[in-house]
Structure 1
Amino acid sequence: MAPFDPGDPDFLADPYPAFAALRAQAPVHEHPLLGIPVAVSHAACSEVLRGRDLGRIWVDAEPAADFPAFNLLHRNSLLEREGQPHDRLRRLVAGAFNRGHTARLEPRVRALADRLVGELVERVRADGSADLMAGVAAVLPVEVIADLLDVPEPERSALRGWSNTIVTMYEPDPGRVRRAEAERAAAEFVEALRGLAAHRRRHPGDDLITDLLDADLDADELVGTAALLLMAGHEATVNVIGNGVLALLRHPEQWRRLVADPGLDATAVEELIRYDPPLQLFERTAVVDTAVAGHSVPAGTKIAALLGAAARDPAVFARPDELDVGRRPNPHLGFGAGVHYCLGAPLARVEVAATLDALRRRLPAVQLGAEPPRRPDFVMRGLRELRLA
């Protein structure tokens, strides 16, 4: 019998008791439904993320002829590379990404969050409640990424749909229809980015695409990098905002604490990422015969870190099932660890903090307007809707 069913609605509603039960038994478990072992303790997950004997080894979605665009995006992503190819691409991308883009965008992020939350508050006053996910969480990160890449319309409006559709392929069993939809979205994204890159070669600008072209990425690497920024940056921020604000509404004393003390914003962001992580599972593959927490992982086989399980490990976090917006220290693994630590983490932190600040100022007495429905996904954990009143 599997330790948990990743498609079970009750498990998806609250996976943390199941994770706690697994941690109490052993740090690593075989999972027949996922087909790979899963690490559930913080120490074991850290081993998975940092271990030099484990890597990200991309294997094309099959049949490969049916997924040329999806496979191209991932084959050329720095997240799916190891060793010298990874180091080279990460160095080039980090150099471009760190060229002042987060600092340049922060005023725009804060102004956009303030406007979106202001519009949300107007809908709350007019209708009694409004959806944070549709009005703020899903809009803000896409607009920021579009600004970062300087994506024009109509491609700008399509970014969110492309991201939502492509990431369904990361679920354990997306099904034939969702797989086909993901390939179509990937193909549209590739076409749009190739056109944008060609335009930037002729007309350079103050944007990340121009910087990536200057960094000498080839055409496929540039498209793969842009896709990674879109999917990781969009999905993570959307779900941190949704999961995090819901956690604050379920713990109103913590929301009141945050309203009273804006100085807690930085620690609150980290705690929201820890408490209910937007990415629950991250896979790596053994490049040689190795072991994680004493569990054998033969060369060529995969093992997953369950980041949500690591986030509630009492060996690392005092009172792990409690939300504490002032928690220090907070060594969560929500942005990964080791060589694949998220390059966009600083920008994601700015986006979440800007949203919390706008909500605190414009809707300090916020309440839950209705019980929120969850997305039926395990790997990318998030809400379909979060109505605020």
Structure 2
Amino acid sequence: MVVAGVLFDSRDAEFIADPYPTFADLRRRGEVHWHDELGLFVAVSHAACSAVLRHRGLGRIWSDVRPVAEFASFNLLHRNSLLENEPPTHTRLRRLVAAAFARGHVERLRPWVGDLAARLVDELVERIADQGSADLLDHVAGPLPVAVIAELLGVPDGDRPLLQPWSNAIVKMYEYGLADDRRRAAEQAAREFVDYLRGLVAVRRREPGRDLLSDLVAVTDSDGARLTEDELVATAVLLLMAGHEATVNVIGNGVLALLRHRDQWQRLVADRGLLASATEELIRFDAPLQLFERTATAEVEIAGQVVRPGEKIAALLGAAARDPAVFADPDTLDVGRSPNPHLGFGAGIHYCLGAPLARIEVEAALGALLDRLPDAEVAAEPRRRPEFVIRGWRELPLARARTR
């Protein structure tokens, strides 16, 4: 049975603080529901969410933000994005981007990421020694993924501070009911980012390097086709936004979860062999991306609910991740959980190309914290970001545990 109505208020602070009891109640009442506020169906079981992500009758169908003239750059990035297109355009884009990725960039960066994570955590520890506490997000979780994507793309060192503010502003547009000033800020950030990347692409055409952007400029498919300049720019922006926003929040959400479940933190302190399974569990336990939309291109049935052409349905990934039909004791954090078929990187043709790199970043950050700050504790109550779709914290102050 599908229940319609106001299932939850996506702007309510209490719901945002802990949406999981609401999700559990919705799962008990049915697998798919109509949400009045969001204007779409929401899938809440793991099976229904997986079907939403995989069904070829459901696609990422981009619709320009309006007024179109006022959001030219934001719309350009999404019209040309791998994530916002379906076959045959998606097939061509993914083939070309995957071919560029396949030139060893992820493994090339693995030792560099480990060294960077260690340096950032060393700086965090020094600040804690000097000041008594320091913010994990400011000093580790935020700068790490931005630096990694900048290194991956070959962004010059002096330009790298530009990237995180652009990403932060643009992704606000994925929330519901965004204020007009935030919408204008997102378009301005998109315009500045597009202009910057056009310049960097021009440099890489003249002076190719060992970076991914140079390979994206050069890559061709079997027919000799290349990425257009707009597609190059959109791909670079997608890599930054997806790579930064997901990773920073996996690290932030995950470290807080571990410190609030001290027995699991101590398991990792004692056994680094659990880092890989812990990374998957942190993605599952407090999902950094809570909702992902699809639009029906044909009549589709998901868990008994018919979705007609043009109607939208979203996978509530945080709900899927706590489904007891798939995960034993789903509200329990278990860093050794196996198997762990979470949907945090998507599924089907839109499965995240950057998943291997994200895993390397999270493992490197966790490993460095465990090595250098095994006695970490939360220094003060963290402040949560007020958004639902992208779930994370404004700050997470850490300190060394007091000797008792």
**Length-normalised TM-score, structure 2:** 0.96
Match of 1:211 in 2: 215
Of 335, 339, 346, the match for 1:329:
339
Residue ranges of structure 1 left out of the alignment (5+ in a row): none
Q: What does residue 235 of structure 1 align with? A: 245
User: Aligned to 2:88, what secondary structure does the other structure show?
Assistant: helix
Structure 2: distance between partners of 1:369 and 1:324: 24
Aligned equivalents of 2:160, 2:382: Cα separation in 1: 28
Give runs of aligned pairs for residues 183-198 of structure 1, distance below 5 A: 183-198=187-202
Look up the equivalent residue of 2:141 and give its one-letter code: A
Q: Which residue of structure 2 lines up, in the alignment, with residue 88 of structure 1? A: 92
2:358 to 348, 354, 372: 348
Q: Is the partner of 1:78 in helix, strand or coil?
A: coil
| Rounded Cα–Cα distance in structure 2 between residues aligned with 1:237 and 1:224 | 19
**2:385 maps to which residue?**
375
Report the secondary structure of 2:345's partner residue: coil
Equivalent position of 1:258 in the other structure: 268
C-alpha contact 1:155 1:192 (8 A) present in aligned 2 = no
Cα distance in 1 for residues equivalent to 2:164 and 2:213: 18
Partner of 1:309: 319
Q: Distance in 2 between matches of 1:322 and 1:245?
A: 15
Which residue identity is paired with 2:351? Y
**Structure 2 unmatched runs, 5+:** 220-225, 400-404
Q: Output the amino acid matched with 2:18.
A: D
Is 2:46 the counterpart of 1:36?
no
CA RMSD for the aligned pairs? 0.7
User: Structure 2: which amino acid aligns with 1:25?
Assistant: R
Offset at residue 155 of structure 1 (A): 2.9
CA distance in 1: counterparts of 2:158 and 2:171, whole angstroms: 21
Paired residue type of 2:101: F
Q: Distance in 2 between matches of 1:30 and 1:15?
A: 17
Count of residue pairs brought into register by the alignment: 389
Instruction: Name the residue aligned to 2:306.
Output: 296
Equivalent of 1:269, from 279, 284, 303? 279
Instruction: Name 1:17's counterpart in structure 2.
Output: 21
TM-score, scaled relative to structure 1: 0.99
Q: In structure 1, what is the equivalent of residue 167 of structure 2?
A: 163
Cα distance in 2 between the residues matched to 1:318 and 1:160: 37
Q: Deviations over 1:203-228 (max 9, x none)?
A: 00001111001112110000010011
Residue 367 of structure 1: SS of its match in structure 2?
A: strand
Structure 1 residue aligned with 2:61: 57
The equivalent of 2:74 in structure 1 is 70
Q: Is the 8 A contact 1:39 1:306 kept in 2?
A: yes
Task: Report the Cα offset of residue 289 of structure 1.
Answer: 1.2
Q: Which residue of 1 aligns with 2:12?
A: 8
Candidates 140, 144, 148, aligned match of 1:144 = 148
Give the corresponding residue for 2:112.
Answer: 108
Partners of 1:204 and 1:307 in 2: how far apart?
Answer: 39
The structure-2 alpha-carbon separation of the partners of 1:46 and 1:89, relative to structure 1 and needing over 3 Å to count, comes to same
- Match in the other structure for 1:182: 186
- Separation (CA, whole Å) in 2 of partners of 1:59 and 1:297: 18
Secondary structure of residue in 1 paired with 2:287: coil
Distance 2:158 2:83 in 1: 28
* Mapped partners of 1:240, 1:145: distance in 2: 16
> What CA distance in whole angstroms lies between the structure 1 residues aligned with 2:135 and 2:106?
27
1:3-42 deviation digits (Å, cap 9, x = unpaired): 1111000011100000000000000010011111100000
Aligned-partner SS, 1:79:
coil
For residues 285 and 138 of structure 1, the distance between their equivalents in structure 2, rounded to whole angstroms, comes to 32
Q: Give the structure 2 partner of residue 125 of structure 1.
A: 129
Q: Is residue 26 from structure 1 mapped to residue 30 from structure 2 by the alignment? A: yes
2:369 to 356, 359, 370: 359
Matches of 1:173 and 1:102, distance apart in 2: 37
Q: Tell me, yes or no, if the aligned pair for 1:56 and 1:81 is still in contact at 8 Å.
A: yes
Q: Secondary structure at the match of 1:172?
A: coil
Q: C-alpha distance in 2, partners of 1:170/1:98?
A: 30
Asked if residue 248 in structure 1 is aligned to residue 258 in structure 2, the reply is: yes
Bigger mean CA deviation after superposition, 209-218 or 338-347: 209-218
Q: CA deviation at 1:296?
A: 1.4
SS at match of 2:377: coil
2:231 paired with 1:221? yes
